[in-house]
Structure 1
């Protein structure tokens, strides 16, 4: 069960990362729901689990998941920075379009 849970979470993370890198549309609500479900399942499965007692296969899956989560974090952060920059550009354009020039600095005075 643990490996199945790790595989589902890994697939979700990988799909989101690849979609963001390919600039494809991402249903963020659906992805966040899947991640939340997987993390809840993982936390329930790991409650009584002794980390020292994990077999090599589970340890490999966890290490791979950790790497994919780190990459996903980088890509999501990059995506958020891009969204913020676009928002700032749109806001500046709206302010410029709404301005009648009354308070703009005068050049040549």
Structure 2
């Protein structure tokens, strides 16, 4: 039984490592495929969930390491979500400004690239 749960935790740890490495490198991530793989790993762990590690220090250390990696992944995912929110906000403001005909509000003056940098 220990081998099964150790293998499942190792697979999940590998997926988390892949996710962290891709986010740190700003690499393209197939979110759906990664989420599906994590889901399968978590399902496997939940099926083994009734097992209690007891005195298996190696497994306990593996779970501690996984928790640390999950916390790191969470922080990176939160940054990624915040960046997406900021970009969506910028795009929304640009589209609204472009579509405004000035009927209800004055149309904002568009700055040139050089003006924006100053």
Question: Given the two structures, how large is their TM-score scaled by the length of structure 1?
Answer: 0.89
Cα deviation digits, residues 49-90 of structure 1 (max 9, x gap)? 124x14011001000000000000000011000001100100
Q: State the distance in 2 between where 1:54 and 1:2 align.
A: 14
Runs of 4+ more than 4 Å apart: none
Cα deviation digits, residues 5-36 of structure 1 (max 9, x gap)? 11110010111111112111110000100110
Match of 1:9 among 9, 12, 19: 12
Question: Given the two structures, how large is their TM-score scaled by the length of structure 2?
Answer: 0.83
Query: Cα RMSD (Å) of the superposition?
Result: 1.4
Report which structure shows greater RCO (CA 8 Å, sep ≥6): 1
Runs of 5+ consecutive residues of structure 2 not aligned to the other structure: 108-118
Q: State the distance in 2 between where 1:54 and 1:87 align.
A: 50
Q: State the distance in 2 between where 1:98 and 1:21 align.
A: 37
Q: State the distance in 2 between where 1:54 and 1:97 align.
A: 65
